[in-house]
Amino acid sequence: MRLWHPVAETVWQGRDDSAEASNAKRIFQTLRQQAQFVPASSGIALIGFACDEGVKRNHGRPGAGQAPDVLRKALANMASHQGHERLVDMGTVHVEGDDLEAAQQALSDAVASCQQSGMRTLVFGGGHETAWAHGRGILDTFPNERVAVINLDAHLDLRKADRGTSGTPFRQLAHYCSESAREFHYACFGVSRAANTQALWDEAERLNVTLVDDLHFRRDALASLEKVLALADRIYLTIDLDVLPAGEMPAVSAPAALGVPALDLLAIIERICRSGKLQAADLVEFNPHYDRDGQGAKLAARLAWQIAHWWA
């Protein structure tokens, strides 16, 4: 697998309580690590995407390229419960220099390989350029099914640019669907009108994007989600951690002035996970350089923990 590297065994470490009871296990004890890229016939493939080239191109704060192993370490010591034994660490895709496009193709190929083998994919980005690669891998695997992209994000990420950035992934996915005469199903929950220009709002309207803004999240999110789920065969969930309030998640490229609290997001995440339609998920834009006492890493890892636990 090009641009792929296995994860060092030292990343997955934690407290050993096995002397206490046979089921006193933590994630690092139940997760399986792959020394080679060989997808299994089932399970949740955890893949890192060590990249912030898209953030740099989008004039954001770089640092997300360091996120995958930091999030792994934060997840490692959490208790292992139902569902967590399905986690298989499938390594990390890296960027060489500034060649974002080659890395994105490698991630798309890795995702498609895992999905075709029977696994679901959980990706730790990386900037939100992760979504173009991850989403393309899902679309390629299920060409004849209605794949809905659900983005929990303060930003629409529908920017027009000469080349891909962390602000363009859903415009790229929309264009990809258009090229193959395929419908593009996109929903953005938690979007901030203050963080998106009118041009981006108009583009979302043109693409018939389902929108729930941050101000009305508690009122509208669940009802809007039910409509999206009803029309989809499979769901790709992407979580940009800047959807969270800056006080909860300071460690992102663009901290939210308002944001949606984690407990409100988790109600939506749980419904998606338990729908039976979730095929892929990722967490993006975590930036360890701006974390405070590991607070952001722990919250992001807890979201990943819940996804694996609830994934039907």
Q: Residue 274: which domain range?
A: 4-310
What is the per-residue pLDDT across 9-35, written as a single tens digit (0 to 9) for each?
999 999 999 999 999 999 999 999 999
- What is the total count of domains within the chain? 1
Q: What is the 3-state secondary structure of the chain?
A: CCCEECCCHHHCCCCCCCCCCCCCCEHHHHCEECCCCCCCCCCEEEEEEECCHHHHHCCCCCCHHHHHHHHHHHHHCCECCCCHHHEEEEEEEECCCCCHHHHHHHHHHHHHHHHHHCCEEEEEECCCCHHHHHHHHHHHHCCCCCEEEEEECCCCCCCCCCCCCCCCHHHHHHHHHHHCCCCCEEEEEEECHHHCCHHHHHHHHHCCCEEEEHHHHHHHHHHHHHHHHHHCCEEEEEEEHHHCECCCCCCECCCECCCCCHHHHHHHHHHHHHCCCEEEEEEECECHHHCCCCHHHHHHHHHHHHHHHHCC
What is the per-residue pLDDT across 131-158, written as a single tens digit (0 to 9) for each?
999 999 999 999 999 999 999 999 999 9
What local confidence, expressed as pLDDT, does residue 117 receive? 98
Predicted structure pTM score? 0.97
Q: Is the pLDDT of residue 239 over 90?
A: yes
Domain with 143 in it: what CATH number?
3.40.800.10
